[in-house]
Amino acid sequence: MTFEGISFAALDFYEDLEADNSKSFWTAHRHLYDEHVKAPLQELAAELSQEFGTAKFFRPFRDVRFAKDKTPYKTHQGVYFAESRRYLQVSAAGLYASGGFYEMASDQIARYRRAVAEDLPGQALVQSIALAEKSRLVIRGEQLSRIPTGFAKDHLRQELLRHKSIWATREFGSPDWLPTPRAKAEVVKAWRAMQPLIDWLDKHVGQSDLPVARRGER
């Protein structure tokens, strides 16, 4: 089926779920999730996959085994496009899109910092961020509270050196065009504006070479 937009009913569903995150509510309202959240996002993902690769839908159920928060359901639906490093989400707050490196292993962080510290790649990153911000994107990511060891405390790009992850975001909220096909065009526009940043990360950081068990060490 063709993507026609995301109904405001999807946002209402998550607002109600935030107020009553219980199995009884989910069971009684599962049809709203299927109709207003899952179905349109599947249609959207199918169309976006032509440019951005295969989509992975995150499960609506939370793993509460080791979590302090024991609420059983996620209050958003996320979709990740691993090949292009893009992410899409719908929640009570509306539509959200992002792209970049959401988590970096220690070897990736080391490569990232070396590139940021060097003049040419460092300036290229600054320029890619400037282009993103010109397109009304916001740069986010996990950061250290201080400059990492081995780098001058007054480095020209000290704020970027503190990053342990970095991505660009666009919080669309709930505009009038959300329940129309324009929603796809807005996501595509934002994702394309993120491309210079993602290209920089792919070139200077790349995939981790560490075994999966060691990737959390940093």
pLDDT given for residue 205 in this prediction? 98
pLDDT band at 145 (very low <50, low <70, confident <90, very high): very high
pLDDT given for residue 212 in this prediction? 58
Pick the CATH number of 8-214 from 2.60.120.280, 3.60.20.10, 3.30.1490.100, 3.30.1460.10: 3.30.1460.10
Say yes or no to pLDDT of 65 above 80.
no
Say yes or no to pLDDT of 73 above 70.
yes
Say yes or no to pLDDT of 170 above 50.
yes
pLDDT band at 214 (very low <50, low <70, confident <90, very high): low
CA-nearest of 73, 17, 5, 92 to 44 is 5
Say yes or no to pLDDT of 217 above 70.
no
What are the helix (H) ranges across 80-170?
106-117, 119-134, 158-161
pLDDT tens-place string over residues 78-115: 999 999 999 999 999 999 999 999 999 999 999 999 99
Say yes or no to pLDDT of 70 above 90.
no
